[in-house]
Structure 1
Amino acid sequence: MKKTEQNYQHYVGILKEELIPAGGCTEPVAIAYVAATARKVLGVMPERMDVFASGNLIKNAMGVYIPNGGNLRGVGAAAVLGVVGGNADRKLEVLLDMPTGKVIEARKLLEQNFCAVSVLEHSEALHLIVRVQAGADWVEVELKNAHTHIVRIEKNGAVVFCCDDEEMVRDGLTDHKCLNIAQIVDFADTCDIGDVEEVLDRQISCNLRIAEEGLKNDWGVNVGKLYYRNGKLLQAYAASASDARMGGCDLPVVIVCGSGNQGATASLPVILYAREKGLSHERLLRALVLSNLIVIHLKRGIGRLSAYCGVVCAATGSGCALTYLDGGTLHQIEQTITNSLGTASGVICDGAKPSCAAKIALCLESAIMAHQLAMEGQAFQSGEGIVMDSVEKTIDAVGCMASKGMYATDCVILNLMTKEKE
């Protein structure tokens, strides 16, 4: 792909937009970011706050520990932490400088029912409104479709900031419709690696660091350590990063598609595999280009949050990168996708929590098998379940199943989770 082509610039832009660091699970952190923004615009400490969140946002904030949050979990806790000590200017690293005293303050406010949480019915999967009030003054901040995409800020009824209709729908990011598997492989092969080297090197360093933390210390149920003892390093490193992240570790992860678990899964197995093979740094970077862009492409039809576990897509991206590193052809990369999606697409998302590490290991087992089958020229055929007669049609089929077919599943999962909490 030539630099002068429009899609070349789109692909570079997509990688730079997507591969950003986040301190902690992105759903509670996004809530904290919006709450911190509301407090900043209000100018004083609120006397009360109301949070209106989509079901998927609630689901993904309910069971995961908040970084620097003193083992607090949940939507209300994330919002209150953002208000009392969050730095809105740091966006998805909003809570990384949280003083211990602010955590104590947040606990007291939660006990005093300072924050009310309600479900936004019939809204986008990623949708949040935070309203803060002090005396007669109030501020309302609304976020939609992406974890840092604030679309509206109002103060005392006056609009401080508002996206236009097109920007509100587009989520502020480069349109992903330009992506397809053939061009992704071409771009990975031919791009000037200097155009994306900085974001990829950051992905390598950040994600390796939290994986090593997960292997070193006690986080979650220590899925990564189990796989490490069994000699399965690709699964071990990705799972250990999730162990730490879901357990509240404050080390940043470079995310993809708004998810740290997906960012770790799309990158760490590729890094470990390239090292095992003794491959060059440039070859590793090109494989990471491939993995990340394939994940982003697979997620386009699914959405950032759904009942379909996004780690299936992230593991598929990793599997494709293994095929790429082994000298696989475009056809074999397509077969890897077919094999992986045809096997693991039944894994549900029931929120961010420690068991995500186990789902990462599970999906990587499937993706590695998909890669190995493809290298032997073996693949599932059209008409076998959700496998269609081309890889792009199979990707579209999975997107349709996840976004439309699993909508009711999503509602049932959220209902079960909220009832259990009651």
Structure 2
Amino acid sequence: MRNLIVNTLKREVVPAMGCTEPVAVALACAKAKELLDFSCIERADIYVSPNIYKNGLGVGIPNTNEVGLYIAASLGLIGGKSEKGLQVLEGIEKEDVILAKELLKNEKISLGIKDTEEKIYIEVNLFTDEGDSKSIIQGKHNKFVYLKRNDEVLLEERYVNIRSNNINLLYTLKINDIIKEIEKISYEEIAFMMDGINMNEQVAMEGLKDKKGMGVGYSLCQNVKNGMLSDDLMNSAMVLTAAASDARMSGINMCVMSSNGSGNNGLTAILPIVAYKNKFNVEKEKLAKALAISHIINSYIKYYIGRLSALCGCGVAAATGASVAISWLMGANEEQINGTIKNMLANVSGMICDGAKVGCALKLSTSAAIAVQSAFLALSNNIVPDKNGIVAETAEDTIRNLGILSKEGMGITDGVILKIMKNMQTI
């Protein structure tokens, strides 16, 4: 189990620049471009899943003053480098932005919603003066399953849903058993977890320098300084997490450490723990293990609700991971660990995802606060009782109930959210 945990962390906890949905579109475009040697782009026809469209519609793109999927796609075609993965837009120059905007002005890029049940699907069909190419990302934001140059198929992988992948063994285990195994892992094996603290805290600090995005973190911080809010753990977690989201959603030119394919999940999984670290003396090994617990719980829950869904992954998954990690740092026993999860999911299970945007800072601040609250309540043995709404006897069954809610109950909701967002775009 130890290798499975470490390998999962290495695969799911990676740096990303910009919101992962438009970045994934840029990545697919960059790869399609690199398959050809051409002088002129005639057109690029791009199709994305409803969830990719929803999450990329209103979010800021790094190195530009623009938002959305069109500019991300155009930048991928002009200056993106696929070898950088989810950091594909790192190093974009001003000249690239000018050329990307020109490409859009000339209406060379079309973007449509693919009729698919896949949560993550991006298809790029590129036509140039020297031939055409095609790239498809599916299942994960950086997973290419199909590549074609003219009539030559370069890559064709049968897409295997992560739920039928052998990684599902981890997500069938009891959470306390996973935590016990993480406790046994040496610091050297998970020292890379500490990179996320440095990276995400730096982004939060940028969000606190001045008002970025909605300025949620900045405003909360000012209220702490003037005495309107107390300088406690809950407010510190809110300030850091919101500030980082403010910066990221406004398109700051900095990488964040993502978690399970989401940068905002990474902020939420890490920064409440940073707030705890800043308040209390925590040795590096214990801090690294707390981060590992947070990321694994995030992935565990998202295995059941989906990597993208109508539920806010930051609230129901990443914040739950952070809450469990904080409980563990405070010495919670097994029953209290389970109680932390129950408290979280009894509280935030109704938080919807209506796309990535500057307003996400509000949801992240709320999620961070509830993460601390749920941990404190569980440590005091104040735990939501069994059969209380979707809360089951065990934490694992409660998570499965949340998965049923997400998959069976929220499918229509997801479509309605997207319809509302599209209608507002045409007003």
Q: TM-score, normalised by structure 2?
A: 0.94
Matched, 1:304 2:343: no
Give 1:405's aligned residue. 409
One-letter amino acid of the counterpart of residue 278, structure 1: N
Given that 2:259 and 2:295 are in contact with CA atoms closer than 8 Å, whether structure 1 keeps it comes out as yes
Give the distance between the partners of 1:173 and 1:95, measured in 2 at CA: 30
Q: Give how far 1:171 is off.
A: 9.3
Kindly report which structure 2 residues correspond to 1:107-118, keeping only aligned pairs within 5 A, or say none: 107-118=101-112
One-letter amino acid of the counterpart of residue 47, structure 1: E
Given that 2:305 and 2:404 are in contact with CA atoms closer than 8 Å, whether structure 1 keeps it comes out as yes
Give the distance between the partners of 1:31 and 1:264, measured in 2 at CA: 21
Given that 1:125 and 1:306 are in contact with CA atoms closer than 8 Å, whether structure 2 keeps it comes out as yes
Matched, 1:360 2:364: yes
Give the distance between the partners of 1:320 and 1:303, measured in 2 at CA: 20
Give 1:95's aligned residue. 89
Give 1:4's aligned residue. none
Kindly report which structure 2 residues correspond to 1:212-227, keeping only aligned pairs within 5 A, or say none: 212-227=205-220
Equivalent residue of 1:48, what SS? strand
Matched, 1:57 2:71: no
Pairing partner for 2:394 from 386, 390, 397: 390
Kindly report which structure 2 residues correspond to 1:188-337, keeping only aligned pairs within 5 A, or say none: 188-198=182-192, 200-229=193-222, 230=224, 231=231, 232-312=235-315, 313-337=317-341
Q: Give how far 1:228 is off.
A: 2.1
Equivalent residue of 1:52, what SS? strand
Give 1:47's aligned residue. 42
Equivalent residue of 2:305, what SS? coil
Deviations 1:70-119 (A, max 9, x none): 22222221111100111111111111111101111111111111101111
Give 1:123's aligned residue. 117
Q: Give how far 1:173 is off.
A: 7.9
One-letter amino acid of the counterpart of residue 328, structure 1: A
Q: Give how far 1:269 is off.
A: 1.1
Give the aligned length. Answer: 412
Equivalent residue of 1:284, what SS? helix
Q: Give how far 1:183 is off.
A: 2.1
One-letter amino acid of the counterpart of residue 67, structure 1: P
Equivalent residue of 2:161, what SS? helix
Equivalent residue of 2:74, what SS? helix
Q: Kindly report structure 1 stretches of 4+ aligned residues shifted beyond 4 Å.
A: 171-174
Given that 1:14 and 1:174 are in contact with CA atoms closer than 8 Å, whether structure 2 keeps it comes out as no
Kindly report which structure 2 residues correspond to 1:156-195, keeping only aligned pairs within 5 A, or say none: 156-163=150-157, 165=158, 168-170=160-162, 175-179=167-171, 180=173, 181-195=175-189
Q: Give how far 1:177 is off.
A: 3.3
In structure 1, runs of 5+ residues without a counterpart are 1-6
Give 2:3's aligned residue. 9
One-letter amino acid of the counterpart of residue 216, structure 1: K
Given that 2:51 and 2:309 are in contact with CA atoms closer than 8 Å, whether structure 1 keeps it comes out as yes
Q: Give how far 1:346 is off.
A: 0.4
Given that 2:17 and 2:88 are in contact with CA atoms closer than 8 Å, whether structure 1 keeps it comes out as yes
One-letter amino acid of the counterpart of residue 13, structure 1: N
Give the distance between the partners of 2:17 and 2:210, measured in 1 at CA: 18
Deviations 1:300-328 (A, max 9, x none): 11111111000111111111111111111
Q: Give how far 1:174 is off.
A: 6.4
Give the distance between the partners of 1:223 and 1:173, measured in 2 at CA: 39
Q: Give how far 1:360 is off.
A: 0.6
Q: Give how far 1:66 is off.
A: 0.6
Given that 2:237 and 2:369 are in contact with CA atoms closer than 8 Å, whether structure 1 keeps it comes out as no
Deviations 1:226-277 (A, max 9, x none): 2223331111111111100000001100100111111011111112202311
Equivalent residue of 1:175, what SS? helix
175-184 vs 276-285, which moves further:
175-184
Q: 1:173 to 1:250 in 2, by over 3 A?
A: farther
Give the distance between the partners of 2:69 and 2:160, measured in 1 at CA: 23
Q: Give how far 1:172 is off.
A: 11
Give 2:144's aligned residue. 150
Equivalent residue of 2:54, what SS? helix
In structure 2, runs of 5+ residues without a counterpart are 225-230
Given that 1:267 and 1:291 are in contact with CA atoms closer than 8 Å, whether structure 2 keeps it comes out as yes
Q: Give how far 1:136 is off.
A: 6.2
Give the distance between the partners of 2:396 and 2:162, measured in 1 at CA: 22
Q: Give how far 1:32 is off.
A: 0.3
Give the distance between the partners of 1:173 and 1:224, measured in 2 at CA: 39
One-letter amino acid of the counterpart of residue 143, structure 2: H
